Amino acid sequence: MTPFAIIVLGLILLRYFFELWLDSLNSDYVRRHADEVPEAFREIMDEATYRKSVRYTLAKARFGTLSDTYSTVLLCALLFTGWLATIFEQVAAWTGESAWGFAIALWIVILLMSTLSLPFSWWSQFRLEARFGFNNSTQHTWWADQAKGVALSFALGVPLLSLLLWLVNASGSHWWLWAWGTVVVFQLLMSVLAPIFILPLFNKFSPLPDGALRDRLDDLAKRTGFVNAGIQLMDGSKRSKHSNAFFTGLGKGRKIALFDTLVEQLDEAELEAVLAHEIGHYKLRHVPKRIAWSFVTTLIGFWVLSILAGQSWFAKSFGFEPVIAGVFLLFGLLAGAVTFWLSPLSNFCSRKFEYEADAFASEAIGSGGPLITALRKLNRENLSNLTPHPWYSGFHYGHPALLEREAALQYNHLSG
């Protein structure tokens, strides 16, 4: 092994053991509070639901450890034995050495690797989620989802990859700027096109039916000056009992999608509060900020990639010929070992946005009350971990914990 390969192995193992440690820290913390519902949650969750949420959290942690171990061993086995390089070169010899050929070779190798983790996704849905009553998916739906995912990754990923690989050769030493521009355009295009062409492949979207709820939400949108192309109902219950709301599209074409499970779980006042929270994200310009942030990180990513591509030792450390497609593959597999350490920073920003959107909602509704009861219900229905360890949530949670959000909402209410 080259010194560089040893450093990379060290980084992969460091992240792996750190995550194990975080998991055990979190599980211990949860277990310590497992015997009775903590004082602060007595109003929120009954004993039985609380115990079930503890069991769910611990079961997910055990499963997560198992699947992390598997994927780390697999990654190390492929990288440090040179097997990955051999497989990639065999496939590339067959697909040809043009930009298209290399793009298809990359797609095949990534597909092979994700196939190896397929049993874990299956188990998660049909054993783990099913055991806690969350799974609504059938085998047919699940396998159809996988097939659609593969087809989409081919239809979108291969042309994009081949364009990027072609740019490396065609645009000289500043190729990374061109590559970045291409990805930026692609991302913007996808945020407009995905809601129209991709999301409907997986879910049915229908306009929220006329009635009291619709009137109330339309009225809220008008009051807050939120221009939109419609509030949609999505059949999330097709796959899972978990509930959510999100928006799609850009500018005036934006739509809000409410999971049918959400509409079932919350009453009208609570749904209005959830929508107000989502509108808050828009009004406070969280979306362009998030997009800008992703453009910056993509730019840095391509810049680092271009530097690594110029160093023959980078690819050689893992047995690869110094071809750019191999560098792309290695970079894609290894970047996470470094960017993982930045996740507390991005989670911090994301949590700040959540507080801001909550404050906006309580202002728009005139009270934090409905949002608080909505959050309580959602935490209960989704069996959320009410007592995450602060370190664990720092690395894994983009949303503040329930009590923190409630405290902030009550504070806003008193001071507003």
**Site residues (vs Zn ion, CB under 5 A):** 354, 357
Taking the least distance from each CB to Zn ion, the nearer of 85 and 372 is: 372
CB of residue 246 vs Zn ion: minimum separation in angstroms? 9
Q: How far is the C-alpha of 163 from the C-alpha of 154, rounded, in Å?
A: 14
Distance of CA 283 to the CA centre of its chain: 23
Q: How far is the C-alpha of 350 from the C-alpha of 264, rounded, in Å?
A: 27
Taking the least distance from each CB to Zn ion, the nearer of 104 and 277 is: 277
Taking the least distance from each CB to Zn ion, the nearer of 179 and 277 is: 277
List, as one string, the DSSP characters of 288-299.
Answer: HHHHHHHHHHHH
CB of residue 343 vs Zn ion: minimum separation in angstroms? 18
Is residue 141 within 8 Å of 239, Cβ to Cβ? yes
Q: What angle is formed at CA 238 by the lines to CA 234 and CA 242, rounded to 5 degrees? A: 80
Structural tokens at position 120: 């874990």
**CB-CB neighbours of 209 under 10 Å:** 8
Taking the least distance from each CB to Zn ion, the nearer of 37 and 357 is: 357
Taking the least distance from each CB to Zn ion, the nearer of 275 and 383 is: 275
Amino acid identity of 163? L
Taking the least distance from each CB to Zn ion, the nearer of 141 and 294 is: 294
Structural tokens at position 178: 């061109």
Taking the least distance from each CB to Zn ion, the nearer of 78 and 375 is: 375
CB of residue 280 vs Zn ion: minimum separation in angstroms? 8
Q: How far is the C-alpha of 135 from the C-alpha of 336, rounded, in Å?
A: 29
CB of residue 353 vs Zn ion: minimum separation in angstroms? 7
CB of residue 65 vs Zn ion: minimum separation in angstroms? 29
C-alpha pair distances (Å), 192 with each of 2, 135, 179: 45, 30, 20
CB of residue 374 vs Zn ion: minimum separation in angstroms? 12
Q: How far is the C-alpha of 377 from the C-alpha of 262, rounded, in Å?
A: 10
CB of residue 339 vs Zn ion: minimum separation in angstroms? 22
